Amino acid sequence: MNMLSRKASHDSHGQDSSYFLGWQEYEKNPYHPIQNPTGIIQMGLAENQELVDFMAKIRENGIKFASEKLVLTAGATPANEILMFCLADPGEAFILPTPYYPGFDRDLKWRTGVEIVPMHCSSSNGFRITSSALEQAYQQAQKLNLKIKGVLVTNPSNPLGITMTKTELNHLVDFAIDKNIHIISDEIYSGTVFDSPKFVSITEVVNERITTVNNNSITSIWNRIHIVYGFSKDLGIPGFRVGMIFSNNETVVAAATKMSSFGLVSSQTQYLVANLLKDKKFTCKHMEETQKRLKRRKEMLVSGLRNAGIRCLKSNAGLFCWVDMRHLLGSATTFEAEKELWMNILCKVGLNISPGSSCHCCEPGWFRVCFANMSEDTLEVAMRRIKAFADSITISTSVVRGSIAKWEN
């Protein structure tokens, strides 16, 4: 069974020209002033070493990343698309737990022809991934005659704002081993974790299992795990467009490197970011301060919503909360009622939030509300508006119920 796509498996990139061969020779014989003073000097490419050091630091050095297994991309969006091109052919599919980032419908499918099979998670267990939900999604794909090539997760989750537990990650690993498929873990929010439990990467879970139970099935899954990361969230520099793919699969790294030529990170940007990451004291302080501010802002949002009688899913990461407004839907608990509520909040209240249906949530009445892209003063204004709106709905509902009660009596 070919685990990769036809594009990744066959060399049709034209990388046998002297231009590309020069790069390959450099990789074999890189210059070093002491260790290899006669080696080839690479002119115009920033090293990946600072990037892998930074990724390891976020994971408290629980796992080491090799720079030769890293591919730079112009942001996390092309990183995810490139992995789709590498791992699946048009008409094949990836399972995504719901709710998921609405942009994936564009990023993963539009140009690749890859399909998405939603794995429906429920509020009854806090939207956590279960073995049964994974299996149900797989069976649904078979009914649709779709070949599943892997599962893609965001950890921490967008839009839930929660880190995945070791139990969930082990469910994923067991599932991928059983079905002989890939796992893509989009970890772009890994540095935004501001509360316990701490962030655990799937690489740490697999590494731990390899160390304790070293058998062929565990070792082989290592080549089918791929990490996506970027600096837009953790360092707050989305305009720099610096993303990356980390994979232990040499064929995937080679194919992704070829594809990245269609969306390169400029040498100037690479040089600037590499120098920024060299300042370990600054990046460490920056991350600590960012996490502190995110926690404070999240608590402001949760407190303001609670004051309006609105609850949130308990979260510990990200730039948003998953907000429960099911009680504001009225008697009709439908996606039509959710859309009507959303339109009222957008047009009458003046708040742009994302309805759960846009994230493929299977339960009407959930919304993603961002809290990090505004000042504290603006957030307070937003909370006053939502409270006034929620209060007006509560009053209207009470009046209607009172009228019905009188009529019935």
Indicate if 183 and 203 belong to the same structural domain: yes
Q: Of 71, 8, 84, nearest to 45 (Cα)?
A: 71
For residue 346, being part of any structural domain is answered with: yes
| Distance of alpha carbon 107 from alpha carbon 8, whole angstroms | 19
Indicate if 152 and 183 belong to the same structural domain: yes
Indicate if 296 and 260 belong to the same structural domain: no
pLDDT number for residue 406: 34
Domain holding 321, by residue range, is: 282-408
The residue behind tokens 């404070």 is 296
Number of domains in the chain: 2
Residues 260/71, Cβ–Cβ less than 8 Å: yes
Catalytic positions, written as ranges? 101, 186, 188, 233
For residue 262, being part of any structural domain is answered with: yes
| Distance of alpha carbon 223 from alpha carbon 220, whole angstroms | 6
**End of a domain among 278, 302, 334?**
278
343-398 pLDDT per residue, tens: 998 888 898 889 999 999 999 999 999 888 878 888 898 999 999 999 988 655 54
For residue 363, being part of any structural domain is answered with: yes
pLDDT number for residue 407: 34
| Distance of alpha carbon 348 from alpha carbon 246, whole angstroms | 45
Indicate if 268 and 365 belong to the same structural domain: no
Indicate if 167 and 256 belong to the same structural domain: yes
Which residues of the chain have a pLDDT value below 50?
Answer: 14, 18-19, 44-46, 398-409
**End of a domain among 244, 278, 312?**
278
212-266 pLDDT per residue, tens: 776 776 778 889 999 998 887 777 777 778 788 999 899 999 998 888 888 887 7
For residue 248, being part of any structural domain is answered with: yes
Establish how many alpha carbons lie within 13 A of residue 207's alpha carbon, considering only the half-sphere containing its beta carbon.
12
Given phi > 0 = left and psi -120 to 50 = alpha, else beta, which region is 180?
left
The residue behind tokens 């009622």 is 337
pLDDT number for residue 209: 86
Q: At what angle do helices 280-307 and 376-408 cross, to 10 degrees?
A: 20
For the chain, what is the mean pLDDT? 84
Given phi > 0 = left and psi -120 to 50 = alpha, else beta, which region is 165?
beta
Q: In this structure, how many other beta carbons lie within 10 angstroms of the beta carbon of residue 302?
A: 18
Indicate if 226 and 150 belong to the same structural domain: yes
pLDDT number for residue 108: 94
pLDDT number for residue 276: 81
Indicate if 287 and 269 belong to the same structural domain: no
CATH of the domain at 127: 3.40.640.10
Q: Which residue(s) pair with 321 in the sheet? A: 369
Written as six digits, the tokens of 3 are: 């685990």
Residues ≥6 apart with Cβ < 8 Å to 249: 4, 223, 224, 226
